[in-house]
A = this chain, B = another copy of it.
């Protein structure tokens, strides 16, 4: 992950794109890339979404790459470590959703 952060920093610098990478713009770019993932799944049933054909899987993989790229850029610009942030959030969720209380309930989860 650190390696990716550094590579992306260098990629932007070499192209003088840092000027466009305000956190505001990166948040927008992140939402655009997620929209492209959602597009792949919008007309599929949940079951179909588990079994993508090879072409769709390749595209989704590229788009997951794009989302991670912008997420890492945004986090880097704000001085946040995304892995640490996710682990911290997981601990918050662990306290908020005790496994014995929420087992099998999406209702509870939807208030996540």
Contacts and interface: CB of A to CB of B under 8 A. Distances in A.
A24 to B, nearest CB: 4
Contacts of A78: 52, 57, 60-61, 64
Interface residues of A, number: 75
B71 A42 contact: no
A interface, over-half SS = helix
A64 B57 contact: no
Contacts of A80: 57, 60-61, 64
B43 A37 contact: no
A91 to B, nearest CB: 10
Interface in A7-28: 7-8, 11, 14-17, 19-20, 22-25, 27-28
